[in-house]
Amino acid sequence: MQIRTVKLRLFILTSIAIFLSSCSISDWYNGYYVERYAIKEAQKDREKYYNSESPEMQERRKQNQTYCLDLANKPENRVARAGYPNGVWNQGMFENCMEDRGTPTYETWAGMQKKNVMKS
């Protein structure tokens, strides 16, 4: 009689454990794999954007990137952040510089596409 009660309790505890772990498995799957898939898709889109440019545009992008990086990294243009006594580079200035010079970054271009979709 005692063995039967122990088996029943073990079965109930195992069932509860499996049920609770299945909930966390779905959370893990949705959190980990979906995020990983989204990152891969974004990387593919980014590669397509940069690889679709003409060789002249790619050369122009290299020149603009050098200029804009130097501009955003200058001490007077750095952004003050806690824990960084000398500040950090100015991402916004870099993106605006690249856009103004005719070679927007993928992130800026994607943002412009979203604005256009929302307007229409």
Per-residue pLDDT tens digits for 14-26: 877 776 666 566 6
Work out the average pLDDT over 56-79.
93
pLDDT of residue 61: 94
pLDDT at 2 over 80: no
> What per-residue string of b and e applies to 89-112 under the rule 16 or more CB within 10 Å gives b?
ebeebbbbbbbeeebbbeeeeeee
Q: What is the pLDDT of residue 41?
A: 93
Give the pLDDT of residue 24: 60
Question: Which segments of 1-115 are extended strands (E)?
Answer: 79-81, 84-88
CA distance 108 to 72: 16
User: Cβ–Cβ contacts within 10 Å for residue 72, how many?
Assistant: 21
* Whole-number pLDDT of residue 31: 66
CA distance 103 to 50: 10
Look at 28 and 65; give whichever has higher pLDDT: 65
Predicted local distance difference test score (pLDDT) of residue 11: 84
What pTM value is reported for the model? Answer: 0.62
What pLDDT sits at residue 3? 65
The confidence band for 6, taking pLDDT boundaries of 50, 70 and 90, is: confident
SS3 at position 83: coil
* Whole-angstrom distance, CA of residue 118 vs CA of residue 33: 29
